[in-house]
Amino acid sequence: MEVRLSNHGGRQLDHVRGALDTLPKVVREVDGRTEAVVDGGFLRGTDIVKARILGADAVGIGRLECIAMAAAGREGVVRMLRILKHEITTCLGLLGVTSWDELDESYLHRALPVDPPDVLSAIPFLDLDCPYP
C-alpha cells in the first residue's frame, strides 16, 4: 500500500496544482507510515532526483515510456531506463553525494521556467514545425 500523487498526466486536471507541488505536504502528513509515489512530467534523471529530495519513494513514468516504445519497442524502453539511470548517477555525482540519504531540500532552488509552456510542452522531444506559439 502506498500513497499515489497524480494529476493523471494533466489531461483532465490540467488546472490543478502539479503533483510534485503537493508532494512535500503529503509526505509530511503521511509521516513515514507508507510510501509516496508521484507521477507527471518525469522526463529526465534530474526530475527524479528532485522528486526524491521532495520526499518521493518512487516516480511513475507515462509519456516517456510511450515515446521510448514508439522509438524502438522493448529495446527503446530498456535504453530509456538506462539513460535515466545514467542521468541520475551523473546528477548525484555533480551534487557531490554518493547516496540519496545525503540529499535534502537545500539542494533545490525554485526557479522560473526557461521556456513558457506551449502546446508541445508535454512532448518536448518532438521536433515539429508547430503552427501554434
Bridge partners for 39 per DSSP? 60
Q: Distance between CA 109 and CA 98 in Å, rounded? A: 20
Whether 66 contacts 43, CB under 8 Å: no
Cell of 121: 510542452
The distance of closest approach from Cβ of residue 4 to ligand FMN in the complex, given in angstroms and rounded to an integer, is 9
The distance of closest approach from Cβ of residue 8 to ligand FMN in the complex, given in angstroms and rounded to an integer, is 3
Nearer to ligand FMN, 39 or 45 (CB): 39
61 binds ligand FMN (CB under 6 A): yes
What is the binding site for ligand FMN (CB under 6 A)? Answer: 6, 8-9, 39-42, 60-64, 66
